[in-house]
Amino acid sequence: MKHFYFFTIFTLSFFAFCNAQPANDTCATSQTITIDATSTSYSFDINTATINNEEGCSGTTNDYADVWYEFTMPFNGNVYVSGSISWNIFALYDSCGGTQLQCSNTNQLFTNLTSGTTYKLRVFRTAANASNTGYQSFNIQAFQEVSNDDCASAEIITVDTASATTVNFEIGGANINNEEGCTGTTNDYADIWYEFTMPVNGNLYVDSGISWNIFALYDSCGGTQIQCGTTNELITDLTAGTTYKLRVFRLLSNADNAGYKSFSIQAFQEATNDDCASAETISVTTTSATTVNFEIAGADINNEVGCTGTTNDYADIWYEFTMTVNGNILVNGSISWNIFALYDSCGGTQLQCGTTSKILTDLTAGTTYKLRVFRLLSNADNAGYKSFTIQAFEKPSNDTCATSENITLDTASATSIDFEITGAEINYELGCTGTTADYADMWYDFTMPVNGNVFVDGNISWNIFALYDSCGGTEIQCGLTDELFTGLNAGTNYKLRVFRLLANADNAGYKNFTIQPFEVITNDDCATAETIAVTSTPSDVYFGISGAVINNEVGCSGDSTQDLADVWFEFTMPFNGSVTVNGIIGWNYFALYDSCGGTELSCFNVSGDFLNLVAGTTYKLRVFRTQAEAGESSFKDFSIVANETLGIETFEENSVSIYPNPAQSVLNINTNQPIESLTIADINGRTVLNQEFSTKVDVSKLSKGIYFLYLNAKNTSITKKIIIK
């Protein structure tokens, strides 16, 4: 029985110990904490606090658990408490049982506290959240009252036109007042004040980097609000020598935020060319671009028409120039913030308008034009890209088909043509695809010296080429970058249109093309194949393919059809074995046939081997390129050599061992033969690997299946069947 009593007493004591109330469960037993100008974190345990039906923040009662703290204010100012989540509620009292000064959940800025005074901080939760073990901590920080908390005590700052002045501020200690913001409505704000004297007539730019910071400018304390905005603000039409009051303020919810507590401020002198009547004269030439630096931040802001016919708030400055030639003007402002509009006179017609860069077309020599450079208000204060270049371009003499420039073509070499297209008229017309767009074009004509093809190379896709049989006639062919025009007749005159999209017409690069005719190839089909000798000694074969007919046909067996140019050769095999062909570059493709219209034995590009060829048999070799590469003048040759297959006696005398077989990743080769290279072909004869000889061959990239390994020595070839698993 005594044991039972002892166990019961122990259990009750242990239960009481485990569920002990926190020591600071009441105001009278509040925990003393120290606060200062840095944030301090305190952890609390509210899970076992007494639940009381008492007042919260709103004046109504509820069941709450609370813990208490007290602190002595180190200076006059504010205290910020952050509890991270709405479960945590904070109330500040002047004493136990005294007045509740302020109350809120999550976080709270307690304002207008007095240095040396001890305050009681109640941390509490509803009964529903009291048992939650998360977020049981808060941060607390004191902010000293600011000296420039009202307009009368505004801090004097210096504003300069040469550079921006950075002003650091601390707003966490400012008084919170319910007062007017920017929109005319009131809210709880913390504000600090500055004053400055404007050094010049013009504008003022204030930038703080974030919308928490709000700026309002006044003509005096209690006077008129001149302008107001968040983040950054261009304040306009200020007067030199006048002192202004700048209010920097935040909503109560952002007053305690430690970030972005600085702003930059700079004055900008009013622009002398702020309107059309006072436009600055600039010189525009055809020889080179003129760079014009400008300062637009001091310009007046006006609600006026931009490019699209709609109005907006813009800052603008004006220039005038006299056109030196008939033609176009290219203005380049590098970025879309810079907008350009051209007028025939002040108050006259807007001729053209655009952003970033603009070709202003069809201008007349000797005429004076007005150029408006402008930005949206939101970009007027941006310090970047405050310059533009301007250049005149004379209208080319070959701007139309009727005035095409004649060029002479030579089959021996390509002719290089330089052109200047920026001065050409911009017309809305057909391109290559049958759809219309704004293009600048120039025209050339030539008489074809031979039957065959013409290759035109413009190096880049900006340059587009179309060939016609006459002005207003049929478009024969059209393409961009480079184009092989095929099936042309000797003695016929053709019209070549060189054109660019409007967006590329002003681009200074790649303003040339090369053009060369190629005579019809005699070995353009299998029936007229050129005979070549193939022996055990390598020989080089040169070919011309640019004059070949372009056909839409299959390249290597199994490929889809495409536009190809091909030439044909034939050779008779001198012995049983293989033939190695090296075309040097991927443009060159090779296919071997047993006859014209017969079976394709093998096909590859660059280089490879035709295997298992029979002595005395004549084979047809097709050399082909895609249309895009047919006009390329380089790498128009290949080497070819025959390799004799070893006899059975040689196989027996000079053994070759291969392992593992089947192989998965690496194939090992052991031989005493002087092997030079090796080739692996699939069961269809297609070469899948061709390399110099190695005793270890990486076959990890080959698909599963049966393959043939050809070990190539001088004038001989050894064949082994391998399996890849």
Q: Quick one: tokens of 419?
A: 């052109």
What per-residue confidence (pLDDT) applies to 676?
Answer: 86
Rounded Cα distance between 47 and 659, Å, is 74
635 shares its domain with 553? yes
- The more confidently predicted of residues 258 and 365 is 365
**677-695 pLDDT per residue, tens:** 989 988 767 888 999 989 8
Report yes or no: 195 and 154 within 8 Å, Cβ to Cβ: yes
pLDDT above 50 for 74:
yes
Q: Quick one: tokens of 608?
A: 């490879």
98 shares its domain with 171? no
115 shares its domain with 176? no
- The more confidently predicted of residues 547 and 190 is 190
Query: Residue 699: which of 672, 673, 725 has the closest Cα?
Result: 725
241 shares its domain with 263? yes
42 shares its domain with 139? yes
Write phi, then psi, for 186 (nearest 5 degrees). Answer: -95, 155
Given pLDDT bands bounded at 50, 70 and 90, which one contains residue 646?
low
Average pLDDT over every residue of 224-238: 93
Number of domains in the chain: 6
Given pLDDT bands bounded at 50, 70 and 90, which one contains residue 654?
low
In a domain, 99, yes or no: yes
Given pLDDT bands bounded at 50, 70 and 90, which one contains residue 345?
very high
Rounded Cα distance between 365 and 509, Å, is 26
Query: Residue 174: which of 156, 150, 194, 190 has the closest Cα?
Result: 190
Rounded Cα distance between 416 and 68, Å, is 90
Find where tokens 């907008």 sit.
339
Average pLDDT over every residue of 703-715: 83
Rounded Cα distance between 112 and 393, Å, is 70
What per-residue confidence (pLDDT) applies to 8?
Answer: 40
362 shares its domain with 318? yes
132 shares its domain with 162? no
What per-residue confidence (pLDDT) applies to 647?
Answer: 52
Rounded Cα distance between 328 and 360, Å, is 5
Q: Which of 144, 160, 178 is the last residue of a domain?
A: 144
Q: Which of 341-355, 520-534, 708-722 has the lowest mean pLDDT?
A: 708-722
Beta bridge partners of 364: none
310 shares its domain with 215? no
Q: What is the mean pLDDT of the chain?
A: 90
Residue 57, CB half-sphere, CA atoms under 13 Å: how many? 18
Given pLDDT bands bounded at 50, 70 and 90, which one contains residue 628?
confident
What per-residue confidence (pLDDT) applies to 367?
Answer: 97
Query: How much of the chain exceeds pLDDT 70, in percent?
Result: 95
**What contacts 221, CB < 8 A, 6 or more positions away?**
151, 152, 154, 245
**91-112 pLDDT per residue, tens:** 999 999 999 999 999 888 898 9
Residue 465, CB half-sphere, CA atoms under 13 Å: how many? 27
Average pLDDT over every residue of 528-540: 92
What per-residue confidence (pLDDT) applies to 434?
Answer: 83
Q: How many beta carbons lie within 10 A of that of residue 390, not counting itself?
A: 22
Average pLDDT over every residue of 9-25: 58
CA 482 to each of CA 66, 420, 475, 513: distance values in angstroms, whole numbers, following the listed order = 82, 18, 16, 9
Q: What is the CATH number of the domain that holds 340?
A: 2.60.120
**What contacts 590, CB < 8 A, 6 or more positions away?**
581, 583, 603, 604, 605, 608, 621, 622, 623, 638
Write phi, then psi, for 72 (nearest 5 degrees). Answer: -105, 125
CA 260 to each of CA 143, 145, 177, 233, 501: distance values in angstroms, whole numbers, following the listed order = 16, 19, 21, 16, 46
Q: Which of 624, 644, 664 is the last residue of a domain?
A: 644
**267-285 pLDDT per residue, tens:** 999 999 999 999 999 999 9
pLDDT above 70 for 11:
no
Highest mean pLDDT among 476-485, 542-551, 626-635, 641-650: 476-485
pLDDT above 80 for 4:
no
In a domain, 571, yes or no: yes
**What contacts 435, CB < 8 A, 6 or more positions away?**
none
Query: Assign residue 619 a region: left if phi > 0, alpha if psi is -120 to 50, beta otherwise?
Result: beta
In a domain, 7, yes or no: no
Q: What is the CATH number of the domain that holds 257?
A: 2.60.120.1080
Given pLDDT bands bounded at 50, 70 and 90, which one contains residue 598?
very high
Q: What is the CATH number of the domain that holds 691?
A: 2.60.40.3080
- State if pTM tops 0.75: no
| DSSP annotation of 425 | P
Q: Which of 602, 619, 644 is the last residue of a domain?
A: 644
pLDDT above 90 for 406:
yes
137 shares its domain with 161? no
237 shares its domain with 160? yes
In a domain, 520, yes or no: no
216 shares its domain with 289? no
pLDDT above 90 for 705:
no
Q: How many beta carbons lie within 10 A of that of residue 357, not counting itself?
A: 19
Q: In this structure, are strands 137-144 and 176-180 parallel, antiparallel, or unpaired?
A: unpaired
Given pLDDT bands bounded at 50, 70 and 90, which one contains residue 462?
very high
Average pLDDT over every residue of 602-629: 93
Segments of 489-631 assigned E as strands: 493-501, 512-519, 530-531, 539-542, 550-554, 561-572, 577-582, 589-593, 600-605, 607-613, 618-626
What per-residue confidence (pLDDT) applies to 16?
Answer: 38
pLDDT above 60 for 6:
no
What per-residue confidence (pLDDT) applies to 655?
Answer: 64
CA 114 to each of CA 74, 93, 144, 210: distance values in angstroms, whole numbers, following the listed order = 8, 13, 10, 31
Domain that holds residue 481: 424-502
**559-590 pLDDT per residue, tens:** 899 999 999 999 999 999 999 999 988 889 99
What per-residue confidence (pLDDT) applies to 63?
Answer: 94
Query: Residue 714: which of 608, 584, 618, 577 has the closest Cα?
Result: 577
The size of the chain, in residues, is 725
Q: Quick one: tokens of 441?
A: 């074009």
Query: Residue 701: which of 665, 677, 668, 667 has the closest Cα?
Result: 665
In a domain, 409, yes or no: no
Q: Quick one: tokens of 307?
A: 């490019």
Report yes or no: 533 and 569 within 8 Å, Cβ to Cβ: no
Query: Residue 212: which of 154, 167, 257 has the closest Cα?
Result: 257
Rounded Cα distance between 674 and 677, Å, is 10
- The more confidently predicted of residues 276 and 670 is 276
551 shares its domain with 566? yes
In a domain, 691, yes or no: yes
